[in-house]
Structure 1
């Protein structure tokens, strides 16, 4: 099999800029919309918005690799890393590591990329893993670095990366390319083009024993932030996780060729979708603040707990709406009390109600945005 790194003109990727130009323009316009929306969040609330967005990204970049994290532990770790007042929830090693990496990507976005940057991220991400031979350095094993699936005795090889002995030289060339294509450097590239190329280029080198996917997505975030001149907070991993199968299919297809226009168009459209997700989440956060301003001190402890739980589900929320059974599970109260509490919340305008009897569902009343939360 001729993998892309075996082709004679590697790593000279080819692509049609005319197909990407309108997507690049949409990216810049949407970036302005996000910046404008964030300005509507009060300074005291921006820290929580940052925690919410970063924790979503930390959770989803791990979920893409099949790793499920404890959200509260991730958020607790993020608060500590950002120097905010910590809560009492314990920070677990795996969650602490990904939170530490996310904050480092966020806070050092403008710095040039170095080998030490990647080693630092890798160490943060995988310091808890006692099975890896090499942590905080490029892989050294002599075995072929392959991405496989299927039976052990008849595996399907989706990709084979360069041998470990080639990695220092490959990554030196990657560093030079990444830093040369930043805004204001010798060969700057548009935001989406550069982020898409950086991710595919890094994944094709696959320089670490484990964690390459998460680090590659962090690099795409760093690239976008450098082109914007500020941390992006774009829901990239959140959106890729929803398109996980297509994501792996696209990577596999374009690790066999240097003609990557289709990959860059696909990746650009994912980023544009991710921007809209971020806009929706900022709008949801603003609606949440207005909701609590309107209903402050109007709920009993049970109602407050249920409302907080509903908001914690985020814009996608409870599938199909909140049921009386959900309320009973959250509050551990009696059915009669749950019925009175829910009716009271409807009367106060905090919830909307749809359906009848066992099909009755409740929705947070947050302006025109009635989501199934």
Structure 2
């Protein structure tokens, strides 16, 4: 599923967990914590833009337009978290979402390049977000997520995978780590504020120590598992202590028995040393497990009146579903609410399409109760 020098977003989050490293809004740019109101203000899904591992799985404008329409018309989301790298891809996707009346959470995640390049990429993305705001679009801007993994120099290592290994081995100075993380986060906030006058956020891992005074919205990638509903509520309340709206910038799990209990480690079932890559162990596919976990968390978020929740993620093109070949069913390691299906199994160059999983239908049922009238049905095929 991954080349040797690349890592998926799901693996970013999960490795963080393994390493153990530490809504109502007012006028644009100013926020206050959620009051007595209940129910999410924004209900959405993460949509990742990127080059893909092969030409067939890379971003295309045609596929993106079909996907964004499906997010609105079939998933009934009112928000799309447009994330990834490439200012043109980010801008085109955000513009399409805005034109379809969706709220845009725009989050650049360029990594493995010098910090100055990441900040320049952020500035260009922020300018695009500002242009959309001036045109009347509803846009929140996140300066990025988990900088300690994306940005070289915070943790030792020239690539994400090297930094992951150093984190897991404890080969870093935690005091220096926190100082460098705080410095880059502050620089990112200043960079974005210099060109964007809307609401600013950052997507942190659950244990990150962030100066939230820099931001209008607290953003957390949330992958906890508890037996009791009350424990979710208690944990999430901790993120409200800064008196600001809370956005769950990612939540979800994989589609096999036991996946939610991994608390973000669900991706770690692939043997990447094999060619082709294989699923380890004898997992039992269960889309119901994924759907029930997503539904359970949504009920918690709604009951707390959080600002936003974005399910991770809409589609993972480089993790195809192979129902007749369980050992190579890489979709088992995907958090996507759709399954990627190769048009000709075993021939990735032939193209692919997505099909909804049970989690997609669970989200759609939940979101439909809050959808604006007049939305029709779209198609997963471009």
Whichever structure has more helix as a proportion of its residues is 1
Normalising to structure 1: TM-score of the pair?
0.29
Q: Larger Rg: 1 or 2? A: 1
Normalising to structure 2: TM-score of the pair?
0.28
Higher relative contact order (CA 8 A, sep 6+): 2
